Amino acid sequence: MGAGVILSSYAHAIGQLRDPQFRRVIWFGVALAVALLFAMYALVLLAVQIFVPGTLTLPLAGEVSGLQTLLSIGSLLVMLGLSVFLMVPVASAFTGLFLEDVANAVELKYYPGLPAPTPVPLATALTDSLRYFGLLVALNLLGMVVFVFSGGLGFVVFWGINAWLLAREYFTMVALRRHPAAEARALQQRHRWRLWFAGMWLAVPLSIPILNLLMPVVGAAAFTHMYHRVQGRKPGSSATEHL
């Protein structure tokens, strides 16, 4: 799987965004992203309300009020900045919930004649998504700290780590629909370095506000194409046609 395959996979994914099934998943994905970001923001506000007093007495200045309001407004600005980092865990949560719908739409259009996949059990998908979500939150918060103290280098680290983890998760979840777990993971390991490069094309746009709302759908579709390409299938081919 070379660079041309990776680029064409993303091109096909972007070209299918007008598909009605894609549009439905995009709206669900946007709603999920907004809900998760607001939930995280609500936790920040709760912490402000609990730990910051309503008034504070300062030497010379006397009693100062309105700190909670000031910090609440400031926390909103902070959360807008954090969304650049937190959209990657949101994309991870998206995978287990909506990848099946996206992969089915891709296969129906580009890979007709395939046998029906075995859906990943909901409990397995949710467990994997929650596990990756926690890992990605921790790593992205670490990446945020690295970014603060290292300038632009922090984003390179941030993108590299997320590219590796997202590529592993997306490709493995697609492969699990048609392979036993051990075989799906072995297939991912066999192509891990090329998949890491493919993951960079997902991780970088996920750090761009607004665009990052579409990227979970694009990523799920692109990695579905990549899975079929490493299986020897071209977009538009039947189940029996190979490269």
Tell me the whole-structure pTM to 2 decimals: 0.76
Instruction: Give the pLDDT band (50/70/90) at residue 60.
Output: very low
Q: CB 143: neighbour CB atoms within 10 A?
A: 22
Backbone CA torsion sign across 211, 13, 17, 38: negative
Q: Higher pLDDT residue, 152 or 201?
A: 201
Instruction: Please give the pLDDT value at position 187.
Output: 94
213 pLDDT more than 90: no
Which contacts qualify for 13-18: CB closer than 8 Å, 24 or more apart?
13/106, 13/217, 13/218, 13/219, 13/221, 13/222, 13/225, 14/218, 16/105, 16/106, 16/109, 16/221, 17/214, 17/217, 17/218
- Most trustworthy range by pLDDT among 31-40, 90-99, 146-155: 31-40
For residue 94, the model assigns a pLDDT of 65
Q: What is the pLDDT of residues 24-41, one digit of tens each?
A: 888 887 787 777 777 766
Over 60: is that where the pLDDT of 71 sits?
Answer: no
Q: Give the residue with greater pLDDT, 48 vs 236.
A: 236
Instruction: Please list the residues that pair with 65 across neighbouring strands.
Output: 55
Residues 100-105, mean pLDDT to the nearest whole number: 90
Q: How confident is the model at residue 82 (pLDDT cuts 50, 70, 90)?
A: low
- For the cut 60, the answer to whether the pLDDT of residue 89 exceeds it is yes
Break the chain into its structural domains and give their ranges: 3-34+84-230
How does DSSP assign 3-20, residue by residue?
HHHHHHHHHHHHHTTTSH
| C-alpha–C-alpha distance, residues 52 and 73, integer Å | 14
